[in-house]
Structure 1
Amino acid sequence: MFRTALLIFSGNAAASMLLLVRNLVVARLIPVEDYGIAATFAVVMAMVEMASALGLQQQIVQSKDGDDPQFQAALQGFQVLRGVIAGIVLFMIAEPVAQFLGIPEVIWAYQLLAIVPVIKAFEHFDVHRLSRQMRFWPLMLTGGIPALLSLLLVWPLATWLGDWQVMLYAILAQIAAMALTSHIVAERPYRLAFDRTTMATSLRFGWPLLANSVLMFLVFQGDKLIVGRVLGMDALAVFAMGMTLTLTPTMVFTKSAQNFFLPQLATLNRSKIDDNQRFHHIAMATCQAHILFSAIFVCFIAFLGQIILQILLGDKFSDLLPIFTMFAVLQGLRILKGGQSSVAFADGYSENSMISNLPRVLLLALGYWLAVKYENITAVIAVAILGEAAGFVIASILLWKRSKIGLAPVVRPASVVILLFALLLYEQQSVLTVLSSIAILVVFVLLIASMKELRVYFFKRSRLTCPPSAP
């Protein structure tokens, strides 16, 4: 088990770290304002992800027909159709987006990025099908190799162009390499089929995921649009860098955790007593694993943030330091929701994530008003933190109501970790003393003690996967 978990985590981490290094190198090589423009490409890429979020890849893993070649071909055909439509839409909205952000000179770049969903649509779904069998190497290579290529292209592109165009062409190369790699590592021949029944089933399965993706776009990119529109490209560069440095490890863990826990949960039949009990146990371990990583991540940023920023960026992004822990807490709260989302998804409630993201979206207007009133990033982040906290409460209630999962094993460690976040945010405003350090350590120990279900899960799994002792 631990070998599989390590493979998933290291594979996702390698791809994400390569992309993070790419972004950091680009930030070092081009002016801050140009990095702000380059950061707007993340908005366009998020639109691509939003348009892709019908859960077609997840259906290969979850559906009982996931190993059927005809079903796979039908999903791949639907993916191509969806990608072409998304590309046309992105091309049409390129000019309005550029005008809204006040950078009409990059309209052509946004139009060029419209080809991304078309290329991405030709991904071979075999890499996801193989994950059903707990074979993750193809999926890891499909993410890692393109990320490495994108990084390697940054230096020659910077030497040649020297501005925001570096990020544009690095992204295009990454997406093209991703589609190509998925075909190279696939076992089955690539086939397309256009089956109306499969499309209808996929739409029924995927509409909550698509709606949630729209909300996710507003959650992650709405803040950027507010900052870019109200505060300008320099402020957007600082905000985008804070999001990048904290979101990357967040996405690595949540993606790895879903890859690891989802197959275990999805294969259980809850109508059987033994399977239902096992589902409850793994569900609690899933939620608590997310809570534990959230605490570790936020503590890491709070204690080492200054060193990290100095090593990675020097003094170029010094305005980020006073608000770095706030970014970490924001992402930490999002990690907390990841456990509930994975469990709900495995139990067939894919719309839970959508509902729990509503507070963030509803508070965007407040964030915009505060940004205009106070003209700083801090107010935008504070509103986002409030929205994520409300979303966690909603996700927990939905898990209890719909999946009949007890709240105590979630509320107990979550209460401790929120206390930990409050202490870290308070210490961000003052000098860290010995007494406050001890208090933080005590709270962290209490957190570990509150996670009985997670400890039992890993202890049992370790015994099952360890070879028997020699007589």
Structure 2
Amino acid sequence: MKRLTTYLSGQSITQRVLRGSAISGMGYFLSQGIRLASNLILTRLLFPDAFGLMALVTMFVLGVVMMTDVGLTPSIMQSKRGDDPKFLNTAWSVKMLLHAFYFVVICLLAYPAAQFYDAPQLVELMPAVGLSLLIGGLVSPNIEHAMRHIQLGRVTMIDLASQAASVGAMVLFALLTRSIWALVFGQFIAAGVKAVLTRYYLQGPASRFAWDKSAVQELIHFGKWITLSSACGFVLSQGDKAVLGKYLSLEQLGVYNIGFFLASFPMALAENITGRTIIPVYRDSPPYESPQNFRTVRRMRMGLSAVVMSMIAVMALGGPWIINLLYDMRYEGAGPIVSLIACAQIPVVLGMTYPQAALAAGDSRSPSLLTMLRAGVQIAAFLTGAELGGLTGAIIGQMLAGWLLHLFIIRIAVQHRVWDPLHDAMFAVLGLLLTVAGMSHMIWAG
């Protein structure tokens, strides 16, 4: 134990990544534990249509944010000027302007959205949630600075503190009002707590308005492809809800959203870890520079993929049982959804770090074009599957698209000399076996 503690406290890239991954992983598990606990409480205090409405609000808010995302976080993490206070404060100033823009656009979209989805409450809900984005614009750039150096202890504590405060506020408000506004109130609390803590709890230069022309040019040059990637990422992450929101009732959409929440946990954990640790790894230890670097990256990817695949196996094989254990009869239809979505995420595991390798090399174009391709192929597969086989067919369509798209991810990996065929082959075989087992179990159970 002493040797392990000493090893994890070191400052080599491997030690920092292991420490950062451990902190991010534990933080994410705690975060999801808090979220699950609040979810179990709130599903008993509020009706499914409240979660359907919030799924639509979240879809529009994320759409506005992601369609105009300029990639400030990866820009700071990969830039040679990422430690320069002038660069950090310029990035913060750009972020504040963007968040003000988000609020205006969300307000303008509220009425058309309410008309399109026949949900009048969106007229009030969307501007209210958009207001929390104004508060979120005050979050200090010191959080990105800490992530740049894989100093994730305080970052994780801030995330957990803001989430815990938000959940406490939502549960209390829901107990008092039994209203969907409890979910909105939690957004305000989360944004406010995070803004205060990042400003006064994290070390770094004081946040103040700055406008360095060369910094803005660098942010725009790197971020122009991130904007395209993020816009397509919105289609990937929210396209299902955009389609289903038109054809399902709010109650059915709420049930689907509960299933999606549970099934997406493994990949969300993986994205949380890779987003905070992998870019510095590829930046400081490119696998093509030495056999030692290649072995280091392979060990990290093998360990991460094994953990994520194990969690996906639990969701794929035990989805209906988990739903029956945790939720009441109003949400029993979410069980098969959990199993299907878990299986659909298996091909994504194989290449989940390759786009970060491109970003670490300063190439934002390749990941962006990949995301654009994924958005087009997967939404087409989703719509085709839905036409042929309803919701089940739609999710299976996305799964098949994921396996096809891995070929294009390999192309990026080869281009940047980071492809690991042994890793991909091992987990492809394991993933296919798990998919067969998960689908067979679901058919047998239902």
Counterpart code for 2:374: P
Give the distance between the partners of 1:21 and 1:213, measured in 2 at CA. Answer: 30
CA contact (8 A) 1:153 1:170 kept: yes
TM-superposed CA distance for 1:363, in Å, is 4.1
1:366–1:96 Cα change, 3 Å:
farther
Q: How far apart are 1:302 and its partner, in Å?
A: 2.7
Q: Work out which of the residue numbers 56, 60, 69 in structure 1 matches 2:76.
A: 60
CA apart distance, 1:428: 2.6
Q: CA separation in 2, counterparts of 1:117 and 1:299? A: 36
Describe the shift of the 1:407–1:137 C-alpha distance in structure 2 as closer, same or farther (beyond 3 A): closer
- Shift of the 417–145 alpha-carbon distance from structure 1 to 2, 3 Å rule, reads same
Q: Quick one: which of 77, 93, 96 aligns to 2:93? A: 77
Matched, 1:177 2:193: yes
Asked if 1:24 is matched to 2:40, the reply is yes
By how many angstroms is 1:215 displaced? 0.9
* Structure 1 residue 41, shift from structure 2 partner: 2.6
Amino acid at match of 2:360: A
Aligned counterpart for 2:179 among listed residues 163, 180, 183:
163
CA–CA distance in structure 1, aligned partners of residues 77 and 126 of structure 2: 33
Q: Distance in 2 between matches of 1:331 and 1:145?
A: 29
**Distance in 2, Cα, partners of 1:234 & 1:352:** 39
Alpha-carbon distance between aligned partners in 1 of 2:64 and 2:26, rounded to the nearest angstrom: 25
Equivalent position of 1:417 in the other structure: 430
- Cα deviation for residue 296 of structure 1 reads 0.7
Q: Show the counterpart of 1:359.
A: 374
2:252 is aligned to 235
| Structure 1: 5+ residue stretches without partners | 433-471
Give the length in aligned residue pairs: 427
Aligned amino acid, residue 411 of structure 1: D
5+ residue gaps, structure 2, are 1-14
Q: Offset of 1:277 from its aligned partner? A: 4.2
Identity of aligned residues (%): 18
CA offset at residue 226 of structure 1? 0.9
Answer whether contact 1:261 1:286 (CA < 8 A) is retained.
no
How big is the alpha-carbon RMSD for the aligned residues of Structure 1 and Structure 2? 2.5
Alignment of 1:361-376 (within 5 A): 361-365=376-380, 367-368=382-383, 370-371=385-386, 376=390
1:209 to 206, 223, 226: 226
User: Which portions of structure 1, spanning 4 or more consecutive aligned residues, are displaced by more than 6 angstroms?
Assistant: none
**What is the one-letter code of the residue matched to 2:201?**
V
Structure 1 segment 65-464 matched on structure 2, within 5 A: 65-187=81-203, 188-268=205-285, 275-357=289-371, 358-365=373-380, 367-368=382-383, 370-371=385-386, 376-400=390-414, 402-431=415-444
Q: What amino acid maps onto 1:103 in structure 2? A: A
Residue-by-residue CA offset, 1:353-403 (whole Å, 9 max, x unaligned): 3333323434424534654665x3212212222232223221122211x20
Structure 1 residue 405: Cα displacement: 2.9
Per-residue deviation, 1:67: 1.3
Per the alignment, residue 459 of structure 1 pairs with none
Partner of residue 449, structure 1: none
Q: Is the 8 Å Cα contact of residues 24 and 313 (structure 1) preserved in structure 2?
A: yes
TM-score by length of 2: 0.87
CA contact (8 A) 1:20 1:248 kept: no
Q: CA deviation at 1:262?
A: 2.4
Give the Å deviation of 1:3: 4.1
Aligned partners of 1:10, 1:48: CA distance in 2, in Å? 31
CA-CA distance at 1:43 after TM superposition: 0.9
